[in-house]
Amino acid sequence: MYTEECRRTGRRLNAEGLVSGNFGNMSVRADDGYYITATGAFLDEPGELVFVPDDGDVPAAASSEYRVHREIYRLTRHRAIVHAHPPHAIALSYAASSLVPEDSEGILFCPEIPVVEGDPGTEELAARVADGVAHAPAVIARGHGTFAAAETLVHAYLLTSVVEHACRIFWLRRASTPSLQKDKVG
């Protein structure tokens, strides 16, 4: 289920350099659980998704980041999640507690992008990311990557792309404008 939609999304993420290697994951909400990419899956060839029930054991094949997905679905009405490792967003996350985009799409779709803490795969990361996407369309986990939540996978992918684009513009603008280089990031 949802394999073709995931593959299309994975190809877009790869093509834009929003993920590298077999990192990143994505999921889609179902009535009594959610479907998530398998641990170690390449997102452009995801294979069968793994069903994780709301109640019951988590299959060993599920992505190691299933806790974040579970907590987002528990706390919000989002129906799809994309987790990626976009390099400009990750680089910026070290210096910021949140990012306010300066480009037109960023301002429109992600007016503020929170940066949260938490080690990969932990309940702490799950709680902070879920709280973040309850108030903003996407968040950046410091030194790690983005989590975008939306109604559909395509929309969650687009938000991921918007975040990385906003971070790229942020860097490029400072690199080309000396007077901005001492600006506080956030």
Residues at the interface with Zn ion (CB under 5 A): 145
Nearest distance, CB of residue 9 and Zn ion, angstroms: 16
CA-CA distance, 52 to 50, in Å (whole number)?
A: 6
| C-beta of 86 vs 101, nearer to Zn ion | 86
What is the smallest separation between the CB atom of 144 and Zn ion, expressed in angstroms? 5
DSSP string for 143-176: TTEEEEEESSHHHHHHHHHHHHHHHHHHHHHHHH
Quick one: 130 or 181, whose CB is closer to Zn ion? 130
CB of 46 or CB of 145, closer to Zn ion: 145
Residue type, 96: A
Helix crossing, 66-75 with 123-135: angle to 10°? 40
Sheet holding 145-150, edge to edge: 50-53, 33-36, 25-30, 80-84, 145-150, 138-141, 113-116, 98-99
Q: What is the DSSP letter of 82?
A: E
Distance in Å, CB of 184 to Zn ion, minimum: 27
Tell me the residue number closest to Zn ion, measured at CB.
145
Report the residue number, 18 or 166, with the smaller CB distance to Zn ion: 18
Q: Which is nearer to Zn ion, 106 or 145 (CB)?
A: 145
Assigned token pair, 54: 């709301």
Compute the distance between CA of residue 88 and CA of residue 167 in angstroms, rounded to an integer. Answer: 6
Measured from the CB atom, the residue of 66 and 73 that comes closer to Zn ion is: 66
Pairing status of strand 113-116 against strand 138-141:
parallel
Closest distance of CB 145 from Zn ion, Å: 5
Rounded least distance, CB 26 to Zn ion, Å: 11
CB of 20 vs Zn ion, minimal distance in Å: 10
